[in-house]
Structure 1
């Protein structure tokens, strides 16, 4: 049964590797046997964090609980987590939403609120009283006069681009920059600007050109001269 279980020390600490071809019963029996042998050489006053790798499979909550209980009741190791080479449908759906860019060609009118998981590209204007929220970046090819909230679940790496006009308000995570004061009433912005959070956790407004410097991962085009 031991062939289904390997305990190794890595640069990140102790890891337990469980075969993804064995049944749960075979894993439980092999793990129990292996841990009983380990008890003879490991001092009981130690408390060791361990990561459990389960390969190309997924465990249910009950299966994770069973494996975790065997490890923690029969050794001085404490399970810090399970890692797998595959993901659940729910995790895959969330990953897909976060990675894709939603695109819209419309005018966001007063009273409209658009919520998007991931990034959003809007070709059009945002009127006063309109609002856009996205978990990722928001790119607007048009005039911005409403409320734009990028990274609204806390992503401080998110950015907003657009022609920011009065009375717009730009938000990234929990930081806010407004163009809604008296000095902004006569503001006419002809250039697309970039809003981002700098390394001092302050929301900054700069030219579009800064985007390539602060978030190089956004542009991955490799062609051209």
Structure 2
């Protein structure tokens, strides 16, 4: 049964690999036997361990059983389980994060649009209107309302648009407002880019900066 268990040290700590062809009972018995044979003395500090379960998924109850066996029969503390298999919930979240939602409309006062992933809006955002996105926000129009990109803390998120009075741009936890007198009397004719620099300061620059700071956004392969 020990052949179903592999324990090794990595640069990130201890890794335990469990066979995905063995039954839960075989894994439990194999783990107990393997861990008891490897005990060489008690240590003062718990060793962090990641458990890899291959091409399968454990139920919460099965994870708790394996975790209890490891922690009761060794000086290791389970930090998490990894699998080659993606849950439906994780797959849905990944798909949402990778796609761009597109809208052609005017976001009016009092209207709030929430988007998982990136958003492309062809239209204006009026004062009092708001957009909240977990990813990037691209506006082909005038921005006079509130845009919050990277609402889950994504500091790589960017916002593009014609930022006008009295707009407010937020990226992750940083805020930049265009509600002063200088902004009030200015009509922005160019699409600008808002992003967080290396110091986590919210910067405003030309659209051309986007290609430099976020090259992964532009993936077009054709042309000269």
TM-score, with normalisation over the residues of structure 2? 0.96
User: Counterparts of 2:140 and 2:163 in 1: how far apart (Å)?
Assistant: 11
Alignment of 1:206-221 (within 5 A): 206-221=205-220
Shift of 1:205: 0.5
SS, match of residue 71 in structure 1: helix
TM-superposed deviation, 1:156: 1.3
Structure 1 window deviating more from structure 2 (8-17 vs 50-59): it is: 8-17
Aligned-pair CA distance for 1:155: 1.4
Which sits farther off after the overlay, 2-11 or 208-217?
Answer: 2-11
> 1:114 & 1:6 partners in 2: Cα distance?
49
Q: Find the residue that maps to 2:35 and give its secondary structure.
A: helix
Structure 2 residue 91 is the aligned partner of structure 1 residue 130: no
Alpha-carbon deviation of 1:135?
A: 0.8
Partner of 2:26: 26
Match of 2:14 in 1: 14
CA distance in 2, matches of 1:184, 1:124: 20
| Equivalent pairs, count | 223
Q: CA offset at residue 12 of structure 1?
A: 2.2
Shift of 1:33: 1.1
Find the aligned partners of 1:170 and 1:77 in 2 and give their Cα distance. 46
Residue 222 of structure 1 deviates from its aligned partner by: 2.1
CA distance in 1, matches of 2:79, 2:129: 45
Tell whether 2:91 aligns with 1:92: yes
- Name the SS of the counterpart of 1:97 in structure 2: helix
In structure 2, the partner of 1:180 is 179
Aligned position for 1:43: 41
In the alignment, structure 1 segments of 5+ residues that lack a partner are none
Tell me how far 1:177 sits from its aligned partner. 1.0
Deviation sequence 1:152-198 (CA, Å, 0-9, x none): 22211111000111111111112111111122112111110000111
